Amino acid sequence: MSKYAILIYEDPAFYETMPPEGFGAVVEAHSVFTQQVVEHGGSITGGDALKPVTTATKIKAGAVTDGPFVESKEVLLGYYTVEARDLDHAIELAQLVPAGGGGVELRPIHDPSTGAL
């Protein structure tokens, strides 16, 4: 099995304007996703939701400032790490992630024992 990061990028405004019951539905959709990963033969090895981008601290060339690193409509709001048989299997799992306010990026996780990136 190979490890992959599923990075969830969404527009924060999608959640800021959502009624409370809508957020409950999002939480439930992520619970369903975690069950589906197992049903599809994968496993979740980690993941978290991130605090809003307004809480970010940027460190660049030794300088520390508050706020996001770049201005963009969609920002990294959370991630999962999963184990999948191969890239096609990881894509299948990533397509299950609920990301109604944006989308996801799938990236292999580097295994340092292999040497090369």
pLDDT single digits (tens) 47-90: 999 998 888 888 878 888 876 555 667 889 999 999 999 999 99
pLDDT at residue 44 tops 90 = yes
Closest CA to 53 of 72, 39, 37, 38: 72
- Backbone CA torsion sign across 78, 40, 27, 91: positive
In this prediction, residue 68 carries a pLDDT of 58
Q: Which CATH architecture has domain 2-111?
A: 2-Layer Sandwich (3.30)
Helix, strand, coil content of the chain in percent (nearest 5): 35, 35, 30
pLDDT at residue 35 in the model: 97
> Could you read off the pLDDT of 86-106 as tens digits, one per residue?
999 999 999 999 998 899 999
pTM for the predicted model, two decimal places:
0.86
The first and second tokens of residue 69, run together, are 């690193």
